[in-house]
Structure 1
Amino acid sequence: MGVKLYVMDFSPPSRACMLTCEILGIPFEKIPVDLFKGEHLTPEYLEKNPLHTIPVLEDGDLILYDSHAILAYLADTYAKDESWYPKDVKKRALVNQKLFFNVAVIFRRLRIISYYVIQKGRKTLEQDWLDDIIEAYGFLEAFLSKTKYIAADHITIADLAILSFLTTLEYILPVDAEKYPKTSAWLEDFKATPYAKKRNEEGARALNDLLNKFLTS
């Protein structure tokens, strides 16, 4: 049967959920939601998600509308092993820590840029915004200096969550491979995977194209 995902390809949280389904082998029905046409504001959509955000997951009678909650649910329910989201309390806490970091730091930095450029018509990127991205790269480099991946020495859902945002941020400000060698290597390795090429590459490019369109129009 699979699950339903209400998404838009350029959305990093949407891409993270599609990446997770792809890599875990979870069949899903992709239901596009066009934000520019207001499809996220229809009564039917608001009934599913009063926050009118994407993505939304439907699995039988369960509806979830936070990407990190969705990733955790998918890993708990469908992963063949617990490595993606460990059941051990301390190991899971480390994954949660990086998921919360993604919300508070990575997501926030991209959200500020997309909000002011797309919704407020800002035509230039503020230096403060770029400095914040550089700071975020430094945090990631510190994480990857302690573990092979973001939250552990193996891949977890934290990697997929952050990957979807970083592949957009790098268009805005490329990762300096000399200054952040571990972050650059982590990113390039993930970008080369079949699942990232299938479920993330085009969407990341589309969001960059959209930002450039608003910056130059």
Structure 2
Amino acid sequence: MPIDLYYMSMSAPCRAVLLTAKMVGVEINLKTINLMQGEHMQPEFLKINPQHTVPCLDDSGFVVTESRAICAYLANKYGKNDKLYPKDPKDRALVDQRLYFDLGVFYASFADFYVPIMFRGQTSIDASKRKKWDEAMNYFNTFLADQEYAAGNHLTIADLSLIASASTMEAFIPTIFNDYPKIKEWIERCKSQIADYHDLNQVGANIFGQMGQSALAKIQ
């Protein structure tokens, strides 16, 4: 049976899964769920994922949700080696920490900033939320001070998750990383190392960016 991925291309977490699947060499059957049109609330999807979120992976009846869990599952099951998700406890712990950092700090601070602007009609910048986002970017820039990738000196699933987040931020505000040179260098490094980066990630990020910039243009 094919591996089905329920996803939406403008979603950074969904694109992290696409990148991981490509890097481990597994083919997936894409099933678009349009959140804007409420397709995630349809009964047939709720049977698969009662949490009604994307991404959602169905591997021959085994269903996994939450992008970082899906990335770990794909790397564990289909990876040709453990480079993307190391088996060494210390190395894996660092990758996990960066994944949790993306979930709870890096992408979370961005979501707290953009969701009210794009989807709740907020018409002014919330300075406190922008400060939290800046703090998150500074943390990540510091992580990269003495290493090439998020969890060391080779690419892991932590980078795949974080680059999906970072590219979405950059599409939203193209100059956002100008004060974070290590992040900018890391982004270019990831682009050169990740297979089919543009088609699997940048295209969706750009769609998000167009919507985001349209919303930002209305800010007073």
TM-score by length of 1: 0.92
The aligned counterpart of 2:177 is: 175
2:196 & 2:132 partners in 1: Cα distance?
Answer: 29
The aligned counterpart of 1:70 is: 70
Q: Runs ≥4 in structure 1, deviation > 6 angstroms?
A: none
Asked whether the 8 Å contact 1:133–1:169 carries over to 2, the reply is no
**Judging changes above 3 Å, is the alpha-carbon distance between structure 1 residues 94 and 61 closer, same or farther for their aligned structure 2 residues?**
same
The aligned counterpart of 2:16 is: 16
Counterpart of 1:83 in 2: which secondary structure? coil
Q: CA RMSD in A?
A: 1.7
1:132 & 1:191 partners in 2: Cα distance?
Answer: 26
The aligned counterpart of 2:142 is: 142
Give CA deviations for 1:95-147 in whole Å, capped at 9, x if unaligned.
Answer: 11111101110121122133212331113332333322221221112111232
- Give the CA deviation at 1:161: 0.3
- Give the CA deviation at 1:169: 1.3
Larger mean CA deviation between 12-21 and 185-194 belongs to 185-194
1:137 & 1:216 partners in 2: Cα distance?
Answer: 23
Asked whether the 8 Å contact 1:2–1:26 carries over to 2, the reply is no
1:211 & 1:124 partners in 2: Cα distance?
Answer: 14
Asked whether the 8 Å contact 1:122–1:215 carries over to 2, the reply is no
Counterpart of 1:84 in 2: which secondary structure? coil
Give me the identity figure in percent: 34
Q: Which amino acid aligns with 1:17?
A: V
Aligned length: 215
**Judging changes above 3 Å, is the alpha-carbon distance between structure 1 residues 183 and 214 closer, same or farther for their aligned structure 2 residues?**
closer
2:123 & 2:202 partners in 1: Cα distance?
Answer: 25
Asked whether the 8 Å contact 1:3–1:58 carries over to 2, the reply is yes
Asked whether the 8 Å contact 2:22–2:195 carries over to 1, the reply is no
Give CA deviations for 1:27-77 in whole Å, capped at 9, x if unaligned.
Answer: 011100001111000111112112211100010121011001000000001
Q: Which amino acid aligns with 2:152?
A: A
2:113 & 2:20 partners in 1: Cα distance?
Answer: 26
Give CA deviations for 1:10-43 in whole Å, capped at 9, x if unaligned.
Answer: 0000000011112222101110000111100011
- Give the CA deviation at 1:216: 4.0
Structure 2 gaps, min length 5: none
- Counterparts of 1:153-172 in structure 2, within 5 Å, are 153-170=153-170, 171-172=172-173
- Counterparts of 1:102-141 in structure 2, within 5 Å, are 102-141=102-141
